[in-house]
């Protein structure tokens, strides 16, 4: 790991913590809205990152399995819920795409058991998320309130998800091959960490500037 990557990795963890703290500071405004679950999500993700970094000092555990079977599925399913069930008002769509994502673990277990981040189900989950992101952009562009986009919390969330999950999809989908080409790997890994920092900053901004009406 390069010095830049170490700095970005350390910064990303604490920026996640910042996003969680900001959401808690704004909690009184959202405690009666579904947005409170976004605050819970950010706190949980920060705690997971802390455990991922220092948990092996407390208990012996399989770190790749922790992320592959717990952290990443929670991330995808939460965003499926936020987009499909809440932003689009389609709970049946949320149930369908969540089921499809979970089913993608079956061929993944058969075909790709030795990948550090399991390419098939991660790629499939990201592709579903990409579709939701495009739908959200379409919804925002065609909204009668488009001129006040800066007050829409989903604008910041969607932008952050685009930069991080969609922007790093090729990196994780082809990780086993990219890691061989060290120069490309380090560039893309730095982008992964940097985009994660930007995403959590955008999540923080969504609480500060976004106007949550429901």
Rounded distance between C-alpha atoms, residue 198 and residue 140, angstroms = 21
Angle, alpha carbons 82-85-87 (nearest 5°) = 60
Residues 6+ apart with CB under 8 A from 2: 186, 190
Neighbour-count burial for 116-128, b at 16+ CB within 10 Å, e otherwise: ebbbbbbbbbbeb
What are the pLDDT digits (tens) for 157-214?
999 999 999 999 999 888 888 989 999 999 999 999 999 999 999 999 999 987 765 5
With cut-offs at 50, 70 and 90, classify the pLDDT of residue 111. Answer: low
How high is the pLDDT of residue 48?
A: 97
* 115, pLDDT greater than 90: no
Q: Residue 113 pLDDT > 60, yes or no?
A: no
114 has pLDDT over 70: no
Residue 121's pLDDT is what? 86
Residue appearing with tokens 């970094």: 53
Nearest to 173 by CA among 94, 97, 108: 108
pLDDT at 214: 53
pLDDT range class, residue 116, cuts 50, 70, 90: low
Q: Which of 198, 187, 113, 114 is nearest to 161 (CA)?
A: 198
pLDDT averaged over every residue in the chain: 92
Residue carrying the six token digits 């947005």:
35
Alpha carbon of residue 93 to chain centroid: 19
Over residues 136-153, mean pLDDT: 89
List helix spans (H) across 55-118. Answer: 63-66, 72-80, 91-103, 105-111
Confidence (pLDDT) at 146: 83
**210 and 153 in contact (C-beta within 8 Å)?**
yes
Mean pLDDT, residues 51-80:
93
What residue spans define the domains of the chain? 3-208
Alpha-carbon distance 135 to 8, whole Å?
Answer: 31
Cβ burial, residue 28 (10 Å; 0-12/13-18/19+): exposed
Using one digit for the tens of pLDDT, what is the confidence trace for 3-32? 999 999 999 999 999 999 999 999 999 999
């Amino acid at each position: 790991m390069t010095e830049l990557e170490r700095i970005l990795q350390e910064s990303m963890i604490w920026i996640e913590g910042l996003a969680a703290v900001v959401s808690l500071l704004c909690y009184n405004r959202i405690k009666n809205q579904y947005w409170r679950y976004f605050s819970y999500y950010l706190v949980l993700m920060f705690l997971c990152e802390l455990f991922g970094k220092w948990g092996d000092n407390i208990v012996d555990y399989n770190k790749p399995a922790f992320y592959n079977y717990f952290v990443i599925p929670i991330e995808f399913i939460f965003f499926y819920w936020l987009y499909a069930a809440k932003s689009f008002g389609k709970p049946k769509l949320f149930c369908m795409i969540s089921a499809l994502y979970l089913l993608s673990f079956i061929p993944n277990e058969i075909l790709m058991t030795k990948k550090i981040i399991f390419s098939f189900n991660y790629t499939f989950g990201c592709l579903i998320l990409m579709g939701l992101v495009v739908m959200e952009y379409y919804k925002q562009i065609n909204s009668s309130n488009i001129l006040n986009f800066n007050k829409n919390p989903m604008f910041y969330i969607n932008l952050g998800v685009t930069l991080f999950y969609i922007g790093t999809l090729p990196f994780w989908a082809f990780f086993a091959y990219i890691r061989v080409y060290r120069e490309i790997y380090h560039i893309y890994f730095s982008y992964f960490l940097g985009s994660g920092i930007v995403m959590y900053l955008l999540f923080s901004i969504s609480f500060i500037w976004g106007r949550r009406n429901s």
